[in-house]
Amino acid sequence: MSSQPAPQPQPIDKSAPAKLQRGPTKTRTEPQAKREGPTLDQVREHPRVKAFIRAANEQLGVVGYTEHGERHARTTADSARFILKSLGHDARRCELGAIAAYLHDIGNVITRDRHAQTGAIIAAEILRELRYTEDEVAGIMGAVGNHEGEEGGQPVSAVSAAVILADKSDVHRSRVRNPRTTSFDIHDRVNYAATAVNIRVDRREKLITLELTIDTAVSPLMEYFEIFLSRMVLCRRSAEYLHCSFALVINNTRLL
């Protein structure tokens, strides 16, 4: 199965000094994106978005999942916008990446199973109310619906690839909700072991790097790969869709 190549961003200015960008970072809506349509702010303030993300997070907590609330939505939105912006995509596409990323897990309000697909339908209804164009709604549905590899998701657009990379790189101890370290499962352990995470995008080198600091006293590296190898494969595919290579660096050692 071959996927369409991502639309090319603006050509790179070779005369400008090389800039290695780091993330996740606080990204902002560009004025140009605001002129071209509704923005992430309206989505975030929508009462249904607030209620559904809150309920989804609570429900996932009941069945033992890590944090999937507003913090995860905001972090993923920031990272997706950062990735697209760093690669030179236009302001509107960066904004759509942030919106798709903010909404990507909203389907968990129904059930974890197939939450990507249900999330795409829920997102579409909200976005139409906010008067997004049908083309934009379609792009966001594809990105939300394809964010989980376990549910058959694949990068299907630049926005979708950025959402996958942003989502899969949100690994951090702050996401663990289980207060008893003695009863951690492998997901709790791996997340708890991650004390720092960073995405680097080097547009010149066409390289997207996920840098992690893992406390191996909490979780051996093997456990990271045990649960995250398939996610890393999806990240590599997503980086390739964006015309980049993907690197994984853990504790200053490049592993992929």
List contacts with Fe ion (CB under 5 A): 105, 167
For tokens 């071209």, name the residue.
36
Residues 61 and 70: beta-carbon distance below 8 Å: no
How far apart are alpha carbons 136 and 132 in whole angstroms?
6
Q: How far is the CB of 131 from Fe ion (least distance, A)?
A: 26
Q: How far is the CB of 84 from Fe ion (least distance, A)?
A: 17
Nearer to Fe ion, 57 or 219 (CB): 57
How far apart are alpha carbons 163 and 157 in whole angstroms?
10
Nearer to Fe ion, 68 or 203 (CB): 68
Tokens found for residue 108: 């968990």
Nearer to Fe ion, 74 or 243 (CB): 74
Q: How far is the CB of 252 from Fe ion (least distance, A)?
A: 26
Q: How far is the CB of 71 from Fe ion (least distance, A)?
A: 11
Nearer to Fe ion, 113 or 185 (CB): 113
Contacts with 8 (C-beta within 8 Å, 6 or more apart), sequence order? 243
Nearer to Fe ion, 105 or 202 (CB): 105
* DSSP secondary structure letter of residue 151: G
Q: Other CB atoms closer than 10 Å to residue 54's CB: what's the count?
A: 13
Q: At what angle do helices 91-103 and 115-129 cross, to 10 degrees?
A: 120
Q: How far is the CB of 122 from Fe ion (least distance, A)?
A: 13
Question: Could you tell me whether strands 245-250 and 253-254 are parallel, antiparallel, or unpaired per DSSP bridges?
Answer: antiparallel
Q: How far is the CB of 254 from Fe ion (least distance, A)?
A: 25
Nearer to Fe ion, 105 or 211 (CB): 105
Nearer to Fe ion, 9 or 119 (CB): 119
* DSSP secondary structure letter of residue 87: T
Q: How far is the CB of 230 from Fe ion (least distance, A)?
A: 13
Helix (H) or strand (E) holding 144: helix 134-145
Q: Other CB atoms closer than 10 Å to residue 221's CB: what's the count?
A: 16
